[in-house]
Amino acid sequence: MFDHLPRASLATLPTPLEAADRPHNAGPALWIKRDDLTGLGGGGNKARKLEFLCGEAVAEDAKSLVTVGAAQSNHCRMTAAAGSRLGLEVHLILSGDAPVADDALTGNQLLSKMFGAQMHYTGAAESHWGELEIAREALTDELAAQGMRPSSIPIGGSTVTGALGYAVAFVELIEQCATAGFVPRAVVFTSSSGGTHAGLLAGRAAMIADGRLDRDSAPDIVAIGVAKGVNLGYPDIAGLADSVLEVMQVDAVIDGDDVEVDARWLGEDYGARTDAATAAIDWAARSGGWLMDPTYSGKGLSGLLGQVAEGRWNRDDHVVFIHTGGWPALFA
C-alpha cells in the first residue's frame, strides 16, 4: 500500500507500545503508543508525516521547506530537524512576535534555531491559522521567485501526503497489539489539523478491506479536539481519509459515522490551559514517567481519562492512547 510512494527515512520505527496502570479500577486496560519517541529532532507524531512530505519534496527536487505553526509549534521544530537531516533550507512562519534576542529563545523555538531554521514572526495570535497560512503562501511565492524551489507545507502537515504517515502507523499499531494478544476497543489521540485522524481512519479502512481486521471488532478511532476548527468539522476528515485511500490504491471509503471528535476538552481556545489537562499531565508523569504538554498531548489524555471516568469502556477492554509528543514545549 505504501511502497509506490516517495518516502524519506526520518523516524525511528516502530515506536514502543507500553502498558499503563488502569486509570480507574472498573476501567479498561490502558496502553501508550510512544510516538513521542520517533527520534527526529526530539520526537513526536510529525516525523511520520514528514517522511512522506519530505519524500515528495526530494522527489520534486525542492531546495527548501516552508511551513507554519504556533509560536511553540512541534511541527515546525520537527520540520526544521528534517531539513537539517536532508540538507534543505527551512523557513518557519510563526505566531507571535520575535524575541528581543536569540538567547531569549525557549522550547521548540530554541531547538528550531539549533537545527538551522529561519524563523519569520507574524505577530498573529496562535489561533489565527488563516492569517498564518496567508503568510506561508506569500513567503512561498517569494522564495519561488528567488529560485529556491520551496516545498510548502500547511499547518500540521495535514495534507493527503502527510496523512499517509498515520495510515502506516495504524497498521504498525495493530500488529503490535496482536503480538501483545489483544485487539484494542479504541484508539484515542489528540487532533488539531486533522491529518493524524484521517490517516488512522484510512489505515483502519485499508486493513478491513484486505481482511486483516473484522469490521465489527475494529477499534473506534476517537479524536480529542484541541482546536476550534476540528471541533467544528474542519477540515473534512472523511474526505481527507478517502483521498489517502485513493493514493494508497485501496478500494474503500470512509463512513462519516466513523469520524468521532470529542470537543469538550479544548478549553477557551487552542493553547489555552485547562485544569483537566494539568491533572492529566501530572497523572502521566507520576504513573509512567511520560512527559506531555498542556497544548496538545495533555489535553488529549485528559479527554481519554474523562471518558474512562464516564464509563465508556469496561474492565475487559483495551484502549490505546497515541502519545503524539510535544514535551519540548514544557521548557517554554
pLDDT band per the 50, 70, 90 thresholds, residue 39: very high
- In the predicted structure, residue 126 carries a pLDDT above the cut 90: no
90: Cβ–Cβ under 8 A, 6 or more apart, which residues? 64, 65, 66, 67, 79, 80, 82, 83, 84, 115, 116, 117, 118
Whether the model pTM is above 0.85 = yes
- Please tell me which residue, 70 or 102, carries the higher pLDDT value: 70
Range 238-243 average pLDDT: 98
Q: With 90 as the cut, is the pLDDT of residue 192 above it?
A: yes
Distance CA 222, CA 312 (A): 12
For the segment 65-77, the average pLDDT, to the nearest whole number, is: 95
Distance separating the N- and C-terminal Cα atoms of the chain: 40
pLDDT band at 127 (very low <50, low <70, confident <90, very high): confident
Vertex 308: Cα angle to 304 and 310 (nearest 5): 115
Is residue 73 flagged as an active site residue?
Answer: yes
Place of cell 519569520: 120
Question: What's the CA gap between 73 and 55, in Å, rounded?
Answer: 21
201: pLDDT strictly greater than 90 = yes
* Beta-ladder partners of 168: none
Of 264, 270, 298, whose CA–CA distance to 70 is shortest?
Answer: 270
- Domains of the chain, first to last: 17-44+160-331 (3.40.50.1100), 46-157 (3.40.50.1100)
Q: What is the mean pLDDT of residues 302-323?
A: 97
Residue 252: what pLDDT?
Answer: 97
| Averaged pLDDT of the chain | 96
pLDDT at 27 over 90: yes
Q: Which one of 9, 64, 73, 287 is the catalytic residue?
A: 73
